Amino acid sequence: MKRIGAVLVAVGVLVLLFGGFRYNRERTLIDVGPIKATTTEHHQVPISPILGGVAILAGLVLLASSRRSLTGKDVG
């Protein structure tokens, strides 16, 4: 659980820093004999900062719960 929590915190921080990701796709427009025309399409996938905050919070909860289970203390 500790690793999953650390990964969630790291992913959440990256989402808050970058806000999404971009990718390019090459598409063929015309392909007639020796003539070939292509274009590159640029796409951006936005990711809400709220999701980044939720990932950080969930990661911190997992880290805290794994620490509590390691020490043997039970709150309640």
Q: For residue 46, what are its two tokens?
A: 């936005």
- Contact between 21 and 68 (Cβ < 8 Å): no
Confidence at residue 76, expressed as pLDDT on a 0 to 100 scale: 46
* Residue-by-residue pLDDT tens, the chain, 76 positions: 889 999 999 999 999 999 988 999 999 999 998 999 999 999 999 999 999 999 999 999 999 988 776 666 555 4
pTM of the model: 0.65
Q: Which helix (H) or strand (E) holds 33?
A: none
